């Protein structure tokens, strides 16, 4: 693909992916305001934007998606850098401005990202490619574990009901 188009497709992918989450939030708001039809409209269009994001990504896959070893290493480094650099800076700014809710969200995200990094590291350096086992994800803070479902989330304290399990059934 030619350079300009490639960049446009990539930007469109980012835009549509953001729109997906924004429209889900709009749908939730419409539900709170008790206008279910508008909630459904936002929900439906969110789904459509997800289709666009996915199609755009499909066109520039080579730009984003590499072989699994490369993807693992890239993801590991990203998690490491975000938990060691970006989030600590965000936490400091939030604390300086007295924004406690943001400081908490950032610090739980930082902790969760460092667990993500450990899981990637394990995948890179241990041989786990021949094993298929489930992961549990805290839907409150994003903590992920490959061990048994915890009694409560070690980062945010959420109970087991707040965990989502990803297993073989979730693979296409
Ligand atoms: Fe992460
Ligand atoms: Fe959590």
Residue 127 is assigned to a structural domain of this protein: no
CA of 135 to the centre of ligand 2 (A): 14
Q: Say how many domains are in the chain.
A: 3
pLDDT per position as a tens digit, 72-99: 999 999 999 999 999 999 999 999 999 9
CA of 110 to the centre of ligand 1 (A): 8
CA of 116 to the centre of ligand 1 (A): 5
Q: Which of 11-15, 39-43, 61-65, 112-116 has the lowest mean pLDDT?
A: 61-65
Q: Is the pLDDT confidence value at 135 over 80? A: yes
CA of 122 to the centre of ligand 1 (A): 14
Contact 20, 45 (CB under 8 A): no
Same domain, 105 and 153: no
CATH of the domain at 23: 1.20.1260.10
Helix axes of 36-59 and 3-32: crossing angle, nearest 10 degrees:
160
Contact 91, 111 (CB under 8 A): no
Residue 124 is assigned to a structural domain of this protein: no
Q: What is the pLDDT of residue 79?
A: 96
CA of 107 to the centre of ligand 2 (A): 11
Q: What is the pLDDT of residue 131?
A: 78
Q: What is the pLDDT of residue 128?
A: 73
Domain holding 112, by residue range, is 71-119
Same domain, 10 and 57: yes
Same domain, 54 and 77: no
Residue 107: nearest ligand to its CA?
Answer: 2
To the nearest whole number, what is the mean pLDDT of the chain?
94
Provide the percentage of residues in the chain whose pLDDT is more than 70. Answer: 100
pLDDT band, very low/low/confident/very high, at 129 (cuts 50, 70, 90):
confident
pLDDT per position as a tens digit, 93-104: 999 999 999 999
As a whole number, mean pLDDT of residues 138-142 equals 95
Q: Is the pLDDT confidence value at 130 over 80? A: no
Same domain, 147 and 167: yes
99 vs 85, 88, 95, 157, CA distance in Å? Answer: 19, 14, 6, 21
Question: Residues whose CB is under 5 A from ligand 2 (ion)?
Answer: 138, 140-141, 143, 153, 155-156, 158
110's tokens: 């930082």
pLDDT per position as a tens digit, 1-35: 899 999 999 999 999 999 999 999 999 999 999 99
Q: What is the pLDDT of residue 126?
A: 80
């Amino acid at each position: 693909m030619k350079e300009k188009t490639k960049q446009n497709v990539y930007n469109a992918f980012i835009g549509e992916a953001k729109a997906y989450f924004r429209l889900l939030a709009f749908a939730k708001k419409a539900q709170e305001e008790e206008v279910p039809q508008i909630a459904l409209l936002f929900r439906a269009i969110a789904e459509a934007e997800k289709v666009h994001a996915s199609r755009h990504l499909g066109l520039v896959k080579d730009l984003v998606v590499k072989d699994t070893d490369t993807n693992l290493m890239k993801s590991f480094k990203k998690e490491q850098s975000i938990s060691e650099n970006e989030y600590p800076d965000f936490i400091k700014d939030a604390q300086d401005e007295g924004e406690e809710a943001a400081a908490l969200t950032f610090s739980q995200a930082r902790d969760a990202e460092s667990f993500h990094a450990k899981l990637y590291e394990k995948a890179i350096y241990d041989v786990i490619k021949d094993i298929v086992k489930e992961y549990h994800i805290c839907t409150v803070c994003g903590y992920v574990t490959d061990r048994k479902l915890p009694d409560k989330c070690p980062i945010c304290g959420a109970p087991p009901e707040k965990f989502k399990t990803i297993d073989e059934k979730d693979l296409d």
